[in-house]
Amino acid sequence: MRNRGVHIVGNKIHFLPVETRVPLKFGPETLTHVTCVRVCMTIADENGRQATGWGETPLSVQWVWPSDSTYEMRHVAMQDFCCVLAGAWVESGLRGHPMEIGHAFWQAILPAELTKFNSRQQVGKESMPWLAALVCSSAFDIALHDAYGRLHSLPVYETYTKEFMNTDLSYFLTPAQGASMSFKGKYPDEFLNPQPPKSLVAWHLVGGEDAIHPSHLTGEEADDGYPFLLSDWIKRDGLKCLKVKLRGNDPVWDYDRIVAVGKIAIEHDVLWLSADFNCTVDQPVYVTDILDRLLREHPDIYAMILYVEQPFPYDLEKHKIDVHSVSARKPLFLDESAHDWHLIELGRRLGWTGVALKTCKTQTGAILSLCWARAHGMTLMVQDLTNPMLAQIPHVLLAAHADTIMGVETNSMQFYPEASGPEAVVHPGVYRRSNGKIDLSSIAGPGFGYRVEEIARKLPPVAASFGA
């Protein structure tokens, strides 16, 4: 092993509550508040040098754990699991590069910790799902990558090279059967954009409960200086890309919603739309009927749809739906189903053509998924988990380095714009969209370039601490 390995010596976590200014609908549930877990991790190398790093993820209960159980029961369970993981990451004893530690933790330790946790504490008759466990663990994984960059005084993405990693990608990834390529001798930097842009096109989320016409306003909206109508958002931020949240179980409503948003988009010179069917569709014909009707009746709106996002259920192994009929019409992106590259490989066989990456499934997993997908000719996107505060920065950096199909989805400024106030003082362009883009030029320095020492964020008390 090269003398670049590190191990984890301590973790501290904070829980930061955030209230939304308007509700955000996730399938059958609606988000009105969220808790972000922020991790401060300390690592050490073989010579005893230490560095700290930061990671943060919204614990988006409705997205990661759809259920009839009460929100609060699931919310508390996820916070409790974060506290468990604070110790598990330290006690793992894992050594190496963050990609190697993160992969080993995700492969062996996280499943075991989740099994133990579920055996002790079930919510009703339910167990915490894998996606929820990944989200809880992702803040630690992100903090590890940040700490490693800070230890070596380098940006995170400059450490994904042969110089720093002890193993090449063939240790982590296997090509698809019949693929004429190999991961032997290849490292992540070979699949990343060598000249990441300093600005990105921003996608605005049109939620299922968002007001798109004046008639949708109740008159009770808060006078907080931010828009409520879609057209006002477009004008204020110069938007060119709209992601349309759909129901996935009401074809009439879904079709009418796309048409209504599409007409507003055309009126205001928006260029692109994407359609998110909320993982509730169980037959491809549901999607193809809507797309074909759009092509017949509104070909201009049909042409604006850049891709379709995850219409079908989360569990890809349980729901092995052949989706070639959808992807023959529009690029079709895995999101909730794309927990790791193994599932991306299955999705590719079933007809999916793209992958929507998320840092909330761990930075390690996102980089490995990116490499596998790009090596097999799949298109990439980076989707939001409504990331505020520090969580926004690794999210947008991933998009810049992934060379996505079109920019990045970023919507925390819609649903809780004031939450990121202290961070926005240091990174104004990261938390405010202008001319349809966000500006990443303030992100600088080692690790993820948070510049956390300059951010006047008063953290709540430590919720859990383990080790140094």
List domains and CATH numbers for the chain: 6-179 (3.30.390.10), 189-444 (3.20.20.120)
pLDDT tens digits, one per residue of 86-102: 999 999 999 999 999 99
Distance CA 111, CA 101 (A): 15
Strand boundaries in 323-463, DSSP class E: 332-334, 354-357, 379-382, 408-409, 437-439
pLDDT in tens, 119-138: 987 656 689 999 999 999 99
CA pair distance 60, 244, nearest whole angstrom: 19
**Residue 1 above 50 pLDDT?**
no
Query: What confidence score (pLDDT) does residue 217 get?
Result: 77
Share of the chain above pLDDT 70, in %: 98
Beta bridge partners of 8: 43
The amino acid at 246: L
- What is the residue-averaged pLDDT of the chain? 94
Give 347-395 pLDDT, tens digit per residue: 999 999 999 999 999 999 999 999 999 999 999 999 998 999 999 999 9
Residue 2: the pLDDT is 58
Residue 10's nearest CA partner among 82, 80, 86 is 86
pLDDT at 124: 60
Q: What is the DSSP string of 223-288?
A: -SSS--BHHHHHHHHT--EEEEE--SS-HHHHHHHHHHHHHHHHHTT--EEEEE-TT----HHHHH
Query: pTM of the predicted model, to two decimals?
Result: 0.96
Quick check: helix, strand or coil at residue 188?
helix
* Per-residue model confidence (pLDDT) at position 445: 97
pLDDT in tens, 409-429: 999 999 999 999 999 999 999
pLDDT digits (tens, 9 = 90+) for 144-191: 999 999 999 999 999 999 999 999 999 999 999 988 899 999 999 999
pLDDT for the residue numbered 223: 80
pLDDT surpasses 80 at 64: yes
Instruction: Name the packing angle between helices 230-237 and 251-267 (round to 10°).
Output: 40
- Checking if the pLDDT of 443 tops 80, the result is yes
According to DSSP, residue 462 is labeled: P
- For residues 424 and 389, the answer to whether their CB atoms sit within 8 Å is no
- Of how many residues is the chain composed? 468
Give the three-state DSSP class for 8: strand
Percent of the chain with pLDDT over 90: 84
DSSP output for 103-143: HHIIIIIHHHHHHHHHHH--BTTBPPPHHHHHHHHHHHHHH
